[in-house]
Structure 1
Amino acid sequence: MSTKRGAMNQLTVLGALLIYLSFATGCSRKPAQAPVNAPEVLVTTVTPQDVPRVLERVATLDGFINANINAQVQGYIVSRDYQEGSVVKKGDLLFQIDPRPFEAALAQAKGTLARDKANQAKTDADEKRAMDLFKKKVISDQERDTAVAAAGSSRANVEADEAAVKQAELNLGYTKITAPIDGVAGFANNQVGDLVGPSTGPLTTVSQIDPIKAVVTAGEGPFTDFVSRHPDATERNAYIKSLDFDLILGNGEVYPHKGKFYALDRSLDPKTGSIRCYVTFPNPGNILRPGQFGKVRFVADMKKGAMVVPQEAVNELQGNFQVAVVDQNNKVSIRPVKMGERIGAMWEVTEGLKPGDKVVVQGLQKAREGSTVTAKDWTPPADALVSKADQQKKP
């Protein structure tokens, strides 16, 4: 009996052990793991999201006003009265031309005026006497007309002399060349002793650079699409004035002040097929200077609930588009998709994917239909949603 009881106990223990192992195996079941030698690919998970359509354009900075300083009279420069590259105020003296010839011309004009005024006094008196004598029938019509004509000629001479004096005074004033605006004065193109005049070109340039303007160009296609998006002129103007612009400097830093739209050119350039617009930025301290290059970036609008994938994840073949999708068992399936708008380095998928799908971004050459891969998350670049230059169709 004891032998039978021992055998029964052993069977009971063995059965319990088998039940436990079976239960433990069922509870610890996990999704299939990729084989150790499966190729590695980078994937992104498709998620509906509100995507900002960020556009970026190359820009050249220019003075808000660039005033070329020219000599309006001919003469020799006797002084340069400003520090090159310094800030000047409207009315500050920049150059002085030798005034002596113009002082002499003014004195001569005044002398001529004085002489002709004296002559006018005489002819006026002669005219008055002639009219009195004519009424008394003492002189003839001819003598009266001669006196009237002489008086009129004298008055005309005085008026001409007065105009000559004013012109001489203007010319003398032009010998002092002053700044027409507040701004930064550039290097002088002429030095003391140079003979300058109206035809010798600018002596220097004064630029108003606070605010400073960024000159941006857009192609004909983006411009036409922009107008079609905003056909109403009032709404279009309100829209562009509501935009905030960022300026990316040549060293990659973002300028701390936001810019605002200023003006759109009246026509497209027939040579380049592009249109210019101006964006102005505050420039306290004159940090920015005309001639600098940069990039202007702004958020055009928001794409609501868009499912986007990197453009490099899409394979195009004869007008058809495909992406490689990795399922929960790390199996690859090639799926046809329909594509929408390109947004920077991303591309909107309008049909063929659903939220949660994992799309292969890098390693597409390893992702064959039905193959097993090792999937790792892909990290998008910081400017993935930035549409640069005119690669983005819609402005």
Structure 2
Amino acid sequence: MPANVALVLFSVLIGVGCGGEGADPGAQAAPAVTVSPVVERRLSDERERVGQIRAIQEVTLRARVSGFLQERRFTEGADVAEGEVLFVIEQAPYQAKLLQAEAELARAKSELQELELELRRTRTLHERQVTSDAALDAATTAAGAAAADVLAAEARLKQAQLDLDYTTIRAPMASRVGRSAYDVGDFVGPESGSLATLLSLDPIHVYWEVPEQTLLDFRRASAARRRDGDEPIRVTARLRFGDGSLYEEVGSWDFVDNRVDANTGTQTARAVFPNSETILIPGQYATVLVQVGEPRKALVVPQAAVQEDQGGRFVLVVGSDGIAQMRRVTMGARDGIYWEVSQGLAAGELVVYQGIQKVRPGAPVSAKQVEPEAGLGGAS
């Protein structure tokens, strides 16, 4: 073997031997994890449902008489007051009919007055046995017919007045008016359909579907409370919009339908919400957060801290010695990013919710306590 090659090999062997002296192949830095303490929060039995907002009152305006549309006195999409004039149909023909009906009534009354006078004369003569029974009967019949003519004329006058009144279309309630289906100058009548639609906005209803089992459990719980003489279960509702924001007002549950939908296995429920600023609009969808009963105290951990295997759910608890240990837990209700712990943990214990995959139970960790935020997971 050449001398230079042997020298190189000798140097490598010496270097390897020296480099391995004192090294600990098992030594490894403790993984960094983020922990959160087990805390006590006030929780409520809250269910999420998809809800649709609907007006409490929806009125379709229709013409009750025919004629050319003479005025439209509202701005489309504006709020209108109860009794406010919205449409006016041409009134001249109906004013003329009203004058004619008044004249007919006056003539009928005049004829009645004359025939009643004639009846009194005939009755006096009949008492003196000057006129026959037939004459008295004829006078009586004529006066009766005249009285009927007066009633008919009064009815025609009333109808003429109604028709004239119907030319003015008013808002039956405080509401918001939609788009007008007709313009000034259009001919409208009872067959024209909707002129415009009014929707009441404050207060307003929200509807959602509830599984029949959920309502069955609620009815059983309510019956038990009644038997025990306890107060009824209080049900309130909140709304969460698509952007994640919450509606400020709280709604009250005021209706559940009287039957289960055979196709969906659900019952329709409803809550009424104040809507003075008209944030809620009919047809809009929102998530309904239904709270059943009063809030209660419970221990919670971040949902990201809870893992599951064949043995069930568990968390990794970091003790005062910095060692992570697996702990079996029983979980309850969820509340946002938190999850109720029914059994297995005590207040103040630290659980890992970030960096979980780096941890081996029984091994040390480098723990940093940080308040959890929505959207954080435990797989990083």
Shared fold (TM-score, shorter chain, > 0.5):
yes
Q: Distance in 2 between matches of 1:144 and 1:350?
A: 101
- Equivalent residue runs for 1:19-38 within 5 Å: 36-37=28-29
Q: Does the CA-based 8 Å contact 2:50-2:288 persist in structure 1?
A: yes
Query: Aligned with 1:302: secondary structure?
Result: strand
Q: Distance in 1 between matches of 2:350 and 2:27?
A: 19
1:215 maps to which residue?
A: 206
Query: Aligned with 1:184: secondary structure?
Result: strand
Q: Does the CA-based 8 Å contact 2:308-2:314 persist in structure 1?
A: no
Of the three residues 347, 350, 364, the one matched with 2:342 is 350
* Deviation readout 1:64-118 (Å, 9 max, x if unpaired): 5433322121222122122223333333321111123322322332233233223
Say whether 1:124 aligns with 2:116. Answer: yes
Q: Distance in 1 between matches of 2:373 and 2:219?
A: 31
Deviation at 1:152, TM superposition (A): 1.7
- Give the letter for the 1:261 counterpart: S
2:255 maps to which residue?
A: 264
2:188 maps to which residue?
A: 196
1:21 maps to which residue?
A: none
2:178 maps to which residue?
A: 186
Deviation at 1:162, TM superposition (A): 0.2
Deviation at 1:165, TM superposition (A): 0.4
Say whether 1:146 aligns with 2:142. Answer: no
Q: Distance in 2 between matches of 1:253 and 1:340?
A: 25
Query: Aligned with 1:278: secondary structure?
Result: strand
Query: Aligned with 2:63: secondary structure?
Result: coil
Say whether 1:307 aligns with 2:320. Answer: no
* Deviation readout 1:309-351 (Å, 9 max, x if unpaired): 3445444567x62303334355554443333334445433323
Q: Which consecutive residues of structure 1, in runs of 5 or more, have no partner in the other structure?
A: 1-33, 385-395
In structure 2, the CA distance between the partners of 1:141 and 1:344, relative to structure 1 (3 Å rule), is farther
In structure 2, the CA distance between the partners of 1:269 and 1:155, relative to structure 1 (3 Å rule), is farther
Say whether 1:164 aligns with 2:149. Answer: no
Say whether 1:275 aligns with 2:293. Answer: no
Q: Distance in 1 between matches of 2:54 and 2:275?
A: 13
**Number of paired residues?**
342
Q: Does the CA-based 8 Å contact 1:53-1:343 persist in structure 2?
A: no
Aligned-residue RMSD, C-alpha: 3.7
Q: Distance in 1 between matches of 2:249 and 2:89?
A: 43
Deviation at 1:203, TM superposition (A): 1.4
Q: Does the CA-based 8 Å contact 1:325-1:357 persist in structure 2?
A: no
In structure 2, the CA distance between the partners of 1:172 and 1:219, relative to structure 1 (3 Å rule), is same
Q: Does the CA-based 8 Å contact 1:314-1:322 persist in structure 2?
A: yes
In structure 2, the CA distance between the partners of 1:382 and 1:326, relative to structure 1 (3 Å rule), is closer
- Give the letter for the 2:151 counterpart: E
Q: Does the CA-based 8 Å contact 1:116-1:158 persist in structure 2?
A: yes
Percent identical pairs in the alignment equals: 34
* Deviation readout 1:144-169 (Å, 9 max, x if unpaired): 33332332222112112101101111
Q: Which consecutive residues of structure 2, in runs of 5 or more, have no partner in the other structure?
A: 1-25
Q: Distance in 1 between matches of 2:161 and 2:256?
A: 40
Q: Distance in 1 between matches of 2:317 and 2:273?
A: 48
Q: Distance in 1 between matches of 2:120 and 2:348?
A: 109
- Give the letter for the 1:263 counterpart: D
- Equivalent residue runs for 1:99-118 within 5 Å: 99-118=91-110
In structure 2, the CA distance between the partners of 1:327 and 1:49, relative to structure 1 (3 Å rule), is same
Deviation at 1:265, TM superposition (A): 4.3
